[in-house]
Every structure is written in C-alpha cells, then in structure tokens.
Amino acid sequence: MADFPEVRGQQAAHSNVPAIAEQAVSELNLILVGPPGAGKGTQAEKLTEDFGLPYYATGNILRDAVAQGTELGKKAKEYMDAGDLVPDEVIIGVILEALASDEAAEGFLLDGFPRTVPQADALGAALQDVGRKISAVLLIDVPDEVIVKRLSGRRVSRAGRVYHVDFDPPKQEGRCDLDGSELIQRDDDKPETIRKRLAVYHDQTEPLVDYYEGRNLLRRFDGTRTPTEVHDHIRATVATLRLEDEL
Ligand code: AP5
Ligand code: MG
C-alpha cells in the first residue's frame, strides 16, 4: 500500500480543563458521525483535549493531500469538488494504516470515517483482527435546513480549526485565534455543493445509523444545541462509557 506521509493524528493541545485521560486508562475508540456541518470537527477539537486521543478526520487528511498535490490528493480532488465521496478503496487503506500506527494503539477519534457500509465493514474487520473494538459511535443530529445556514458562514484556518462568522467568530475577523493564519471558505461550502453533500449523506452514510444501532454502539446527540451544550452531553456520555468499561 502507498505510504501517505500526510496522515498524522492531530494530538490534543494542552488546556486548563482537567484531562480525563489522566484518570483512567481503558482504550477509547470513538467515531463521530453526522451530516455535513453537524459540528463533527467542532466537537472533535474539544474531545481530543478531554480524552487525549489522536484525531483522524478524513476530510482534513484529503484536503491536505489536495493542497500538497500528492497521489492521494490527485485521486480525491474531483470527487470532493463535486460533493461526492471518494471511492472506498482510496480512503479505507489510508485510515487502516493510520489506526495501525503506534500513536493510535491506545485509542482514537475518527471524524468522517466510516461513511459507507463497506467502509464500516472494513473498519470492523480490521479492528477485530487485532482484538480491538469500537467503543461508541457518536451521532450528531442536525436537520438539513440548519446545515445550509451553518456551512455558508463557516470559515476554516489552514490547520483546519473551524469558526463561524456568527456562531463562533474568531477574536480578530478573518484570522485564526491559534496561529493567526488567514481564514478561508472551503471550496465545497457553495450552496449547490452543500445540497449535493446532504443528498450523498442521506443516501450513503445515513444507513450507518441503523448499522451501528443494531450493534448497540450508537449514541445520539442533538446538534442544534449550542456547541458547549453538545460538548457537555458527549463528554458525559463518553466518560460514563469508559467508567462502565472499567467496572
Ligand atoms: P468532511 O470534511 O468530512 O466534510 P463533512 O462530513 O461534509 O463535514 P463538515 O466538515 O462539512 O462538517 P462538520 O460536521 O465537521 O461541521 P463543523 O464542525 O465544521 O469531508 C469533505 C469531503 O471529503 C467529502 O464530501 C468527501 O468528498 C471526502 N471524504 C471525507 N471522508 C470521506 C470518506 N470516509 N469516504 C469518502 N469520501 C470522504 O461545523 C460547521 C459549521 O457550523 C462551523 O462554522 C461551526 O463553527 C458551526 N457550528 C458547529 N457546531 C455548531 C452548533 N452547535 N451551533 C451553531 N453552529 C455550529
Ligand atoms: Mg469537518
């Protein structure tokens, strides 16, 4: 398999929030699922801090690859610009390779993968082969009409930090709070591409809700609440899961 050097976990930054990871040791293998604009990236940033997990967001990995013009980026660009999914065989190998790394040996947070039933099957089989399992699939639910408004106001930094012009503005307009880089609009946040991405979500990704519910792994969160409320709910759920696992 090709080696994609752009695949790296984005390690948790330090914060004053007490790290739950310091208090417990059991493995947490988490997946964030939800429609485009549900707040997966927004919540992931907080959860990686809470639980000290390496973070793999396939959208960020693919956008980096496109920006660097790598083999992976060349394969993915056309699909992403159209709001389509990249083919399963392109993305599955990338993620399985990342999860097999030392960094992910004691847990991980996935955002944007799996996104199809074949991707979910491949992930389940790969984890089972090495005696690991998914801890929980965290579904952030948001209706379509809210999504369009959210995504048209989204701005992102070069490193992938997410803002919203109204709901989560940076301290200085147009600049990232963390590294001062210019904030830009994603190419796929045009209204017609947003509608296409939503259709693709309902058609190809939503079947995973039943898939993981049937495996008793699904946890639902109301993504129309504020980012802080959504975070509080997810963090409490994950902390409880981990405690239950240790008992
Ligand atoms: P990807 O980057 O994963 O895009 P996505 O799933 O469409 O999700 P988004 O990143 O758009 O939304 P999000 O849920 O992260 O929301 P965010 O936190 O930014 O994938 C892009 C493309 O890559 C795909 O279309 C596909 O082509 C390809 N791809 C990726 N993975 C693939 C895979 N596995 N297989 C095949 N192809 C794949 O928040 C959105 C906005 O809302 C922000 O402005 C934020 O500030 C704001 N916000 C967040 N939470 C709230 C809240 N609670 N209230 C108000 N505003 C909020
Ligand atoms: Mg995202």
Residue 99 structural domain: 5-142+218-239
Q: Is the pLDDT of residue 71 over 80?
A: yes
- The number of folded domains in the chain is 1
Band of the pLDDT at 55, cuts 50, 70, 90? very high
Helix segments in the chain, DSSP class H: 40-51, 58-68, 71-82, 88-99, 117-129, 144-152, 191-200, 207-213, 227-246
Model confidence pLDDT, tens digit, residues 82-116: 999 999 999 999 999 999 999 999 999 999 999 99
Task: Please check whether residue 227 lies inside any domain of the structure.
Answer: yes
What residues contact 76, with CB distance under 8 A and at least 6 apart?
62, 65, 66, 86, 90
Ligand 2 midpoint to CA 39 (Å): 7
- Provide φ and ψ at 233, rounded to 5°: -65, -45
Task: Please check whether residue 98 lies inside any domain of the structure.
Answer: yes
Average pLDDT, integer, range 17-43:
77
Task: Please check whether residue 29 lies inside any domain of the structure.
Answer: yes
Ligand 2 midpoint to CA 36 (Å): 7
**Atom 12, ligand 1: residue with shortest CA distance:** 37
Nearest to 47 by CA among 32, 61, 34: 32
C-alpha angle with apex 54: 167 to 86, nearest 5 degrees? 75
Q: 67: domain CATH number? A: 3.40.50.300
Q: Decide: helix, strand or coil at residue 64.
A: helix
Percentage of residues in the chain having pLDDT higher than 70: 89
Ion ligand 2 neighbours, Cβ < 5 Å: 40-41
Q: Does the N-terminal peptide bond of residue 207 adopt cis geometry, omega within 30 degrees of 0?
A: no
CA dihedral for 158, 227, 187, 11, sign (positive or negative): positive
Q: Is the pLDDT of residue 16 over 70?
A: no
Ligand number with the minimum distance to the CA of 63: 1
Average pLDDT, integer, range 2-26:
40
Indicate if 154 belongs to the active site. yes
Mean pLDDT taken over the chain: 89
Give the number of C-alpha atoms closer than 13 A to the C-alpha of residue 6, restricted to the C-beta side: 19
Give whole-number Cα distances, 91 to 27, 47, 127, 149, 169, in Å.
24, 23, 16, 29, 32
Task: Please check whether residue 46 lies inside any domain of the structure.
Answer: yes
3 state SS for 95-157: HHHHHCCHHHCCEEEEECCCCCHHHHHHHHHHHHHCCCCCCEEEEEECCHHHHHHHHHCEEEC
- The catalytically annotated residue of 154, 155, 161, 235 is 154
Task: Please check whether residue 25 lies inside any domain of the structure.
Answer: yes
- The catalytically annotated residue of 46, 63, 77, 115 is 115
Task: Please check whether residue 247 lies inside any domain of the structure.
Answer: no
- The response to whether residue 163 sits with its C-beta less than 6 Å from ligand 1 reads yes
Ligand 1 midpoint to CA 39 (Å): 7
- The response to whether residue 73 sits with its C-beta less than 6 Å from ligand 1 reads no
Indicate if 220 belongs to the active site. no
Q: Is the pLDDT of residue 189 over 80?
A: yes
Q: Rounded to whole angstroms, how far apart are CA atoms 158 and 20?
A: 29
- The response to whether residue 47 sits with its C-beta less than 6 Å from ligand 1 reads no
Which ligand 1 atom is at minimum distance from the Cα of 153? 44
Task: Please check whether residue 170 lies inside any domain of the structure.
Answer: no
Band of the pLDDT at 26, cuts 50, 70, 90? confident
- The catalytically annotated residue of 132, 175, 186, 196 is 186
Task: Please check whether residue 204 lies inside any domain of the structure.
Answer: no
Nearest to 40 by CA among 196, 201, 172, 193: 201
- The response to whether residue 161 sits with its C-beta less than 6 Å from ligand 1 reads no
Indicate if 40 belongs to the active site. yes
Which residues lie across from 182 on neighbouring strands? Answer: 175
